[in-house]
Amino acid sequence: MPFDLSALGVLIKKIFPPKKCVFTVDTSGDGNVDALLIRAVNVVMPFQFPEEIELRDVGMKGFNGHDFDLSKYGKLLLDGEPINISKDAISPESLQKRFSVFHKGDSFTYEEIIKGGFGGRTIALGDQINFLFRLEDEAMARFTEGKHSLMIDAENVLTLELKFELNNDNMNQKFII
């Protein structure tokens, strides 16, 4: 029996509103845009983030981030062009410096999340979760004014496509959380 998943696309647009979910930001205050901020809004219901995350058959307890290769689990595409997410391109050391999650004034690094620092946290209705990715200049250059799509094509999971638009309201912003 086939399932109609068309409502999922509507829900994704509510969680990630196309003109209000992606920002290019300056995190250092030097006037140069150096990061991408992706904002998700909980529009469904309050929930508690799990204490332990399971990625297929990989549990977070005893997880060795140095051996983990995200590219074995799926692909990431910006406007149909692949983004290299292999462990050679994105090392745990790089993630530690370049990736942060923000919720209600608290920030979490990659390592803190892997070690369960976000676990047990309640995400209330209307709460925002902000994902900050500090990127190289050439990667930031791909985020131009106009419409874009970011696609996550993961094995054994539905393909997720986040459509967004960049304009004067969400480009070249000073980083404030």
Mean pLDDT, range 124-136, rounded to an integer = 93
More confident residue, 57 or 116: 116
Mean pLDDT, range 67-77, rounded to an integer = 72
Rg (CA), the chain: 16
**In which band, very low, low, confident or very high, does the pLDDT at 70 lie, cut at 50, 70 and 90?**
low
Does 60 reside within a domain?
no
Mean pLDDT, range 93-110, rounded to an integer = 88
Does 64 reside within a domain?
no
DSSP character for 50?
-
Does 75 reside within a domain?
yes
Pairing of strands 74-78, 81-83: antiparallel
Does 76 reside within a domain?
yes
Does 153 reside within a domain?
yes
Does 59 reside within a domain?
no
Does 56 reside within a domain?
no
**In which band, very low, low, confident or very high, does the pLDDT at 81 lie, cut at 50, 70 and 90?**
very high
Q: Is the pLDDT of residue 87 over 80?
A: no
More confident residue, 110 or 130: 130
Q: Is the pLDDT of residue 82 over 80?
A: yes
Mean pLDDT, range 133-162, rounded to an integer = 86
- Total of domains in the chain: 1
Q: Can you give the pLDDT at residue 152?
A: 82
**pLDDT over 70 percentage in the chain:** 82
Q: Can you give the pLDDT at residue 177?
A: 67
How wide is the angle at C-alpha 74 spanned by C-alphas 42 and 39, nearest 5°?
Answer: 25
How many CA atoms are closer than 13 Å to the CA of 177, on its beta-carbon side? 22
What residues make up the domain containing 158?
7-49+70-174
Does 154 reside within a domain?
yes
Q: What pTM was computed for the model?
A: 0.82
**pLDDT over 90 percentage in the chain:** 42
Mean pLDDT (the chain) is 83
User: Is the Cβ–Cβ distance between 150 and 164 less than 8 Å?
Assistant: yes
d(CA 113, CA 52): 10
| Model pLDDT for residues 8-50, shown as the tens digit of each residue | 778 888 999 888 899 999 999 999 999 999 999 999 999 998 8
